[in-house]
Every structure is written in structure tokens, then in C-alpha cells.
Amino acid sequence: MLKVQSLSFTHASSQLPALTEANFELQPGQALMVTGPSGGGKSTLLSLLAGLAPGFLKGTMTGQILLEGRAPQNPADWAASVGLMTQNPESQFLAGSVSDELYLTLRCRGRTGPEASERVKERLATFKLESIADQSVFKLSEGQKQKVVLAALTALKPKVLLLDEPSANLDPQALVSLADILTLLLAEGLSLVIADHRLAWLRKVCGQVLVLNSGRTVYQGSWEPLEDNRFRDSLGLRAVTIPNQVTLPPAPSGAGPGVWADNLTFGYHKQPPVLKDLSVRVDYGQVTAVVGPSGRGKTTLARLLCGLEKPQQGAIYFDKADPHQAYGTVVLQNTDHQLYMPSALAEVALALNPGQRKIKSPESALEILRSYGLESLADRHPQSLSGGEKQRLAVAVGLARPGKLLVLDEPTSGLDGLNLKLMSQQITRAAENQTAVMVITHDPELVSLAADSIFELKAVEEQSIEAYNGPVNMLSSSKSEDRNFTVGP
Amino acid sequence: MSSERSIKSRLSALLDGRGFFKTHELVTIGLFAAGSRAATLTLALLGGGMNPLTMIIRSAVHSALLLVLLAKVPKTGVMTMAALVGGLLAFFLMGQGMVTLPAVVIATILVELLVKALGGLERRRSLGLLAVILSELFTRIFNVGFSYLAFREQPAMVIMVVVISAFSYLGILLGLIGGVKMVRELRHAGLIG
Amino acid sequence: MPGLSDKFKNAATGRLNLAPETRLALTLMASIFSLIFSDGISLGILAAASAVYLVLEVRPKATIIVYIAFTVMATVAMISLKLLGLFMAAMKGQPLYAALFPFIRMSITLNTILPLAFNARLSDLASTMGRLKIPGLIRLPLIITVRFIPTFFNDLTQLREAVAIRFRRRGGFFFWLNNPVIAWRVFFMPLVVRLIRSADELAIAAELKGLSASTDFGDGRLMLKQADRVALSLATIGISLASIFGNLYA
């Protein structure tokens, strides 16, 4: 049993507490969902439950965390009883291959020999990982990476599992699969604490809810109060239920007033094609959502549109212009590689005039920041911004550059409800300036808020012009009952 | 006898990293050593190993990263650890530097002792700059000595190593200028303490 | 190699059935004796023997890629040497074969490094370092280092693509040459940021796994198999022959 009593924490670099007086109890087989706006204290709570303070997390902690009635004494005690899956599962891997990761996890706890080998085999079978046991962990999909982390964590037979933003990088199909795994782990008697912004998928997994805002508990109990829109909006929370039917027209194809891909075929390094005879058009002034399970070639399509890859067959046209003269701008998922300057203002100014050494005319850069509601961040260092702020700055930088097409790759992964709304407003505004906007996303809430049309990327054998002439179903290959997120003309 | 045992157990604890270096500090040292070696290897492959411009850029990247490491983990012993791990990595990645490694480590230890005598990195973080300037100078002197052993059939190559060392040291000094600004900026961004 | 029995070859991987310690010992032997030998015949024998070992242990494709990169570096070095010879008297009059010696030495080390790099599993490497009594203080950063290198190269690729999108049609190399400060920021700053973030992420991963410098990996005892004994004996014989023939024809 996990018992948290009056738990508070203040970071060494801050005067204000990151967490204040958290209290809850979890029995074996119970799951708690922790949510709240960004910076509310969710990650701090999980770090404390994982035993990362005071060794890694510097600051002052008061209160108690009890496991089976006693407080863990040292890192080894924590690691034996509690497992944490972080938002980026790849960052948790210390080995190269799937089976090696499991072996290394056991070896770190001093478990070797036949007993360890048996445990590895058993975990690989339980999580259906046998076929990829020798594969590099870096080449797996996000869903597979999470499975490997969970297999490694549960190999140590912990009592409590903590999951930080597990839905951030998953497509709806992988999310359904993760929910199934978590239900299985609950049945095995584990206690789960799951911190997430996306709420809908957790309704069947978690019986209890804890809402944190500025480190304080603002609600604790059942799901019912979260169904109140005003309550959720006041805290910047996401939807509790995803609308079953959202009516959106399918994206057009062929020549027209926009950017269009004409019969594109592409495959990587002598591999079978990822895209085959694919045609789609993004009109100026419109937002087109590109959806479909991972591995269907959504990011490949973005790379082709932005000139990072060359199509093996077919062509891309920009309003009948020479395709080589006008590529699109893409905002990639990891913004760390896209921000270079010492302030947000300098970042936009660099995009406006890449050759300048100093900001000569900050007015136009400030105007762009202002138009996207980012002027208060003008003097902040881009790397000191929150995830949502960084994403929005990267989009503003993308829009500051001359170009007729803006492609956004998963712009809302890991964002809370408030930042989701701000991002969708920014996207809509970009389209109002007669830019063609393509949003690659797994997030149904973003689709319903920002998209004008939708394009489902199907399996390669179905990719042809004819396949896109009818209504499309966003979660067509999902196994969930909640998947009827359909769109149609 | 008991004091001898005590010294032995303290030495064993130190070598096992108990008490002195924390896990996250060792991880940071390992990563910066790897980052520095991998970046310089990439630059060598892109621009040619003996291209003077590449040599200057490689050294600049190395010294700037070393300065950032000392700012992130301001502790006696960090430079020696970085030299040791970086040297072993250079051997595994490029098959280089195994013979010069002991000399490089000794040079770094001497510099660390000097820095400690001047107050230590823990108290005076600005000493990191001096530490990098001196340790890189000593390392180059040792490298020239070793090159005589390896290239003795080609005395001209020893001269070439002297020229290369001069170019790369120029890069080290340029990198430190960028490194000092970078440390200031990373502090402002809250990425290092 | 159909001639090699299962005792010498791992059926699953197709590589030689050697302990990591043996591969490490072969690398050290090659590295040290390539420095000791100073005549063409000894170095030639050592290079040939190490090349056979490389062919048995590493896939041809990987070997070719690494050797192309090595040849490019060596060629640039040779050209630089020749250019230097135009200006420096000490460089003139040296026979061409003497200029090749340093590269033969490097290739001998490379031939023995590659099998080590391509065939060692991380958990085995951790155990090996434990058996060799390498202190945890060195072992932990090295384990992390091996893990980090693919992440670093992935970061480099992502950075290259981000820069390609943002600075398209800006004049390429000459743009950066003309704007060195921006070049430094654009290419270097994101890498340093990623390095710092990766350090924090991997430190958390290590803490959560309970991995520390004093972690006992259950290292066990080193058991040299027949393949290890044969490989080490052949290496000793090869080095002896190289030494004898080198002295005979000196």
C-alpha cells in the first residue's frame, strides 16, 4: 500500500513550494490519475514518489511517503519498490537492444544467472516483445518503447508504478493498447499513479482523480466534477470525453489554390515504399489535419513537402510555381534543435533576417510575437520556456519566415488544455494570413478545435487518389470501443 | 595496521564512487566526454582531420564543452575523470591515445592540484578557465613527445605534429572565449546552476 | 566460415565465440606491438593477421564504410604532408613507404577495435569491466558513454535537418563563413543544450534503475573457452613471427 501524508516540496532554486500538503492512499490494484495545468506540481509529485529527492531533486521536502507502512531508506529501497516511466521512454534506456535492457535492469539489482534469464523470457512473452527482443531500442515505435520500459520495470516486481505523461507521444491505437496493459498490471496487484493532460483514455483505468494547481490539491475524488466544462476551463484541463462524431470535409486533391502533392511515391533506402501514388492538396487559408496510425508515413509526407526528401515519383506544386522554388516550413517535434538565440525576440528576428548579427529592427519581430500572444516572453531565453511556450515560439518563428506552407508535426504533444487552445488559436491565425497549414497529429481535440479538413493516411496498399474520395475514419484500425471519431463531408 | 586498512577502504570507496562523486555527476562527466569526442570525430570526418580550419573548430568545441562541464559540475577531480573517460573513449572509437593517456591524466592531475591550491573549483568557479588553459597546454606538450615515438621513421611528421598542436591550441583559446559566454547564457536559461 | 566448428563460431550471430576480455586483449596487443615494431615486414604481418581477424568478426558492409572514412582521412593527411614538404626542408627526401607507416599502425588498431565495438553487448561489457577490476568510478561513465553515442548522432541528424529547413538558400558554406557567430550559435548551442538535458535524463534513468558506481553486476568468474585460448595463442604466434621475420630481413 502507498500512503502519502502532508507531502510538500520546495525546489532549492525557488522560494515558492512546488508541492503543498499532498495526501492520498492507494491500495494494491488501484490507480490514481494526477492532472492539472502545466507547472501544477505533477512531475514534482512523481519525482518525490520515485525517491529522486534529495539525491537528484535538490530542495526541502516535508511530510511522508510510506510503502507497506514504512518509508524507503535509500535509492536501492526505492528502486526495489517503485518504478517510474518518464515522458520520453527512450531516455530511460541504458542498453542497446530490447533484451539487453531487461538484463541490465536485473543486473543493476544484482539478479543474474538462470533466474534472471527466466524472468527476461517471461517479461518478453507477457509484453509480446519476443519478436523484437534483439532489435535496437532506438528503432522502436513510441508504443513499443513504452512496452519495453514497462517490461523492464515490472521485471523487478515493484509494488507501485508511476507514469509521467504516457499519452504524450502515442497515437490513439497505441493509447488503447497501453490502457489494456495498465488494466492487466492493476489486475496483477500493482498500484498506479498516472500524471497526464489527456484525460479521456484514463477513465477506464483510474478510479481516483487528483487535480493539482500551483502545487496545491484543488480537487481529489471521483471523475464526476471533471465533467463540468466550467470547472475544467477554470483550470485549463482537457476534455474528459472525446466527441464521437466530428464532421470535417476530406482534404481535396489535384490542382488548385494551394500546395499539392501529385502521385507521390517514396521509400527509404531501398525499403518498400512508405507512400505510393499519394495525392493531396492543402489550400491557402485552410488548416488540414493529417491523421493515421504511427508508421503510415505522415512525417515522411511532411519531409517531402519541406524538401528534406525527394520523391521517387510524382511532384509537389506550390500554386503552379516551380516546386524547387518554394518549399514549406516544418516545425518538428523536438524544439530543442530549432531554437538558437539568447531571447525569444532575437529568435524571431533571426528568422526575419538570418544574416544579421544584432537585432536592428526589433519592431517587426515584436509585432509577430504580439500577434501570437507571446510578447511577454520577448526577453526570455528560449530554453527557459515551458514545453507549450517553446512549441508556440517555434511556430511563430516558422511563420516569420517567408513561405506559403507551414507543416506542424505533433504540435500539442504533452500540452495542457490551456496551451492546446492557445496553439489552436495560433494555427487558425496562421491560416487567416493565407498560409496553407498542415497539422500532423494524433490529438482529436486539436483536430476538432483547429482543422478545416482532414486527410487520413492509409496503409500503403490503399494509398491512391480513389481511396480519399469518401468519408474517413480517424481511428479506423483501433480496437477500442471509443474509436468512433469519424469525419465525413 | 588499522590505519592502513582505513586508507585502503577509503581508497576503495573513492574508486567505487561512494561518497565523492554522485551518480548524476558521473553520468554528466561521461556524457560530456562522449559528446566532445563524438563532435570532434564528426568534424574530422566532415572537414578532413588535417585541415587547419577543422582542427581549430574541433579544439574550440572541445574546450567550450570542457568549460561548460566544469560549470555544471564544479568539483575537484572532474577534469581528470573527463580526461580518463575521454581518453578511453578515443581509444574505443578511433584506436587513438592509449599510450598518451597516462601522460595526459598525470598532466591533468597536476593542474587539478594547482587549482585546489588556489582555492578549488568548488569555491572559485572562475578557476575553470585557468584549468582548461593549462591542462590543454600540457596535453599538447606530451603529444609532441609521443609523436616522436610513433613517427620516428618520419621526423618531418613530428614537425607536423608541432604545427597541428599550435593550430589546435589556437582553437582551444578561441573556444574558451565562446565557452565563457555560453556558460553565462546557460546560467541565465537555468540549465546550469 | 564453413571450416570453423561450433566451438569457435556463434551460430546465432555468425561471429567468433570469444569472451569480451579476449577481444580487449587482442586490441591491446595489436595497439602496443604496432608501436614497438618499426620495420615494414613486422608491421605488414601484423596488419595482415589483424585483417583476417576483422573479416571473421565484422560484417563486410560495416568494414567497407569505416575503411572508406579512414582512407579519406589518410589521403587528406598525405596531401597535407606533401604540401608541407613544399615549404619545409626537413620534409624533403623522405621515401613514400615511410610515410605510410603511421597509417599502417592506425589500421592495425582499427582492425582490432571494430570487432570489439560491433560485438560487445552493454550488459556483458559492464560485467567484463567488473571482472577486470575497473573501478566503478570509470565503469559508470563508460557505460553511459556507450549508451549516449547513438543519441548524440541522432541529435546531430535532427539539428542538420532543422538547419536545412531554416537556412535554406542562404548561400551554404559561405553564409556560415561570413557569419561565424551565428554559425557557432546555430550549430553548437542546441547540441550543448541537448547534452545538458540528456545528462539529466540519463542520470534519472541511472538513479531509477539503481545503477551507481558501486553497483555489483554479478560479474562472476572469467571462463576462457577453447576459442579464446586458440585466438590468444594465434595472436602470440603471429606477433613472434612478425618480430622474427622483421629482424631477419632488417
Does B53 lie at the interface with C, CB-CB under 8 angstroms? Answer: no
CA distance B24 to B72: 11
Tell me if C155 and A337 make a contact (CB, 8 A cut-off): yes
**Whole-number pLDDT of residue A468:** 42
**Whole-number pLDDT of residue A53:** 84
Identify the helix (H) or strand (E) that includes residue B187.
helix B155-188
Tell me if C201 and A91 make a contact (CB, 8 A cut-off): yes
Nearest to B15 among C81, C136, C195 (CB): C136
Residues C165 and C64 in one domain: no
CA nearest neighbour of A279 among A68, A66, A99, A455 = A455
Question: In sequence order, what are the residues at sequence separation of 6 or more whose Cβ sits closer than 8 angstroms to the Cβ of residue C56?
Answer: C1, C15, C16
Residues C236 and C192 in one domain: no
Residue numbers of C between 31 and 60 with CB closer than 8 Å to B: 31, 35, 38
CA distance C85 to C146: 40
Nearest to C210 among A109, A112, A350 (CB): A109
Residues C150 and C129 in one domain: no
**Whole-number pLDDT of residue A36:** 92
CA nearest neighbour of B168 among B94, B85, B62 = B62
Q: What is the mean pLDDT of residues B28-45?
A: 86
Tell me if A354 and C182 make a contact (CB, 8 A cut-off): yes
**CA distance readout (Å), A191 to A182, A184, A273:** 10, 11, 44
Tell me if B190 and A13 make a contact (CB, 8 A cut-off): yes
Residues C50 and C13 in one domain: yes
Contact list, C122 vs chain A (CB under 8 Å): 94-96, 100, 104
The chains found to touch C (3+ Cβ pairs under 8 angstroms) are A, B
**CA distance readout (Å), A13 to A60, A86, B25, C15:** 11, 22, 19, 52
Domain ranges of chain A: 2-235, 258-483
Contact list, B152 vs chain C (CB under 8 Å): 38
CATH of B2-188, one of 3.10.450, 3.40.1350, 1.10.1760, 1.20.58: 1.10.1760
Residues C193 and C112 in one domain: no
Residues C89 and C150 in one domain: no
Q: Average pLDDT over chain B, rounded to whole?
A: 83
Please tell me which residue of chain B has the smallest CA distance to A384.
B189
Residue numbers of C between 60 and 89 with CB closer than 8 Å to B: 69, 72-73, 76-77, 80-81, 84-85, 88
A4-13, A286-295, C147-156, C220-229: range with lowest mean pLDDT: C220-229
What SS3 class is residue B46? helix
Residues C85 and C191 in one domain: no
Per the rule left: phi > 0, alpha: psi between -120 and 50, beta: everything else, A314 is left
Nearest to C102 among B31, B72, B151 (CB): B151
Nearest to B189 among A13, A55, A383 (CB): A383
The chains found to touch B (3+ Cβ pairs under 8 angstroms) are A, C
- Give residue A177's identity as a one-letter amino acid code: S
Per the rule left: phi > 0, alpha: psi between -120 and 50, beta: everything else, A434 is left
Minimum distance, in Å, between the CA of residue C117 and any CA atom of chain B: 7
Tell me if A104 and C209 make a contact (CB, 8 A cut-off): yes
Q: What is the mean pLDDT of residues B68-79?
A: 93
Of residues C78 and C163, which shows the higher confidence score? C163
Residue C231 has pLDDT above 60, yes or no: yes
Strand pairing class (A275-283; A258-266): antiparallel
Domain count across chain C: 2
Residues C127 and C141 in one domain: no
Nearest to C213 among B23, B42, B85 (CB): B23
Domain topology for A258-483: Rossmann fold (3.40.50)
- Give residue A16's identity as a one-letter amino acid code: L
Residues C138-173: b if buried by 16+ CB within 10 A, e if exposed: bbbbbbbbbbbbbbbeebbebbebbbebbbeeeeee
Residues B60-69: b if buried by 16+ CB within 10 A, e if exposed: bbbbbbbbbb
**CA C224 to the chain's CA centroid:** 24
pLDDT tens per residue, range B157-180: 778 778 888 988 999 999 999 999
Cell numbers at residue A295, please? 508508421
Residues C50 and C150 in one domain: no
- Global pTM reads 0.80
Please tell me which residue of chain A has the smallest CA distance to C13.
A134
Sign of CA dihedral A336, A337, A343, A349: negative
Matching residue, cell 511522508: A64
Matching residue, cell 514534482: A44
Strand pairing class (A160-164; A19-26): unpaired
Contact list, B50 vs chain C (CB under 8 Å): 76-77, 80
Specify whether the CB–CB gap between C112 and C26 falls below 8 A: yes
A82-91, A397-406, C194-203, C206-215: range with lowest mean pLDDT: C206-215
pLDDT along chain A (489 residues), means of 10: 94 87 95 92 92 84 92 79 90 86 85 87 91 86 90 92 90 87 93 94 93 94 92 90 74 83 87 88 92 86 87 83 60 83 91 71 85 86 85 86 84 88 90 90 90 85 48 41 32
Specify whether the CB–CB gap between C220 and C13 falls below 8 A: no
Provide the residue range defining the domain that includes C153: 136-212
CATH of A2-235, one of 3.30.70.20, 1.10.357.10, 3.40.50.300, 2.60.40.10: 3.40.50.300
What SS3 class is residue A317? strand
Contact list, B190 vs chain A (CB under 8 Å): 13, 381, 383-384
Does B188 lie at the interface with A, CB-CB under 8 angstroms? Answer: yes
Minimum distance, in Å, between the CA of residue B2 and any CA atom of chain C: 23
A198-202, A287-291, B43-47, C150-154: range with lowest mean pLDDT: B43-47
Tell me if B24 and C207 make a contact (CB, 8 A cut-off): yes
Contact list, A382 vs chain B (CB under 8 Å): 189
Q: What is the DSSP string of A386-453?
A: -HHHHHHHHHHHHHHS--SEEEEESTTTT--HHHHHHHHHHHHHHHHTT-EEEEE-S-HHHHHHH-SE
pLDDT tens per residue, range C78-91: 776 666 666 665 55
Contact list, A335 vs chain B (CB under 8 Å): none
| DSSP-assigned letter for residue A249 | P
Specify whether the CB–CB gap between A436 and A350 falls below 8 A: no
Specify whether the CB–CB gap between A284 and A404 falls below 8 A: yes
Q: What is the mean pLDDT of residues C212-230?
A: 70
Domain ranges of chain B: 2-188
pLDDT tens per residue, range C104-137: 887 888 888 888 777 666 666 667 777 777 787 8
Contact list, A308 vs chain C (CB under 8 Å): 161, 164-165
**Whole-number pLDDT of residue C148:** 83
Minimum distance, in Å, between the CA of residue B189 and any CA atom of chain A: 5
Does this chain's domain A2-235 share its CATH topology with A258-483?
yes
CA distance A185 to A170: 19
Nearest to C211 among A56, A108, A357 (CB): A108
Helices (H) and strands (E) in chain B, counts: 7, 0
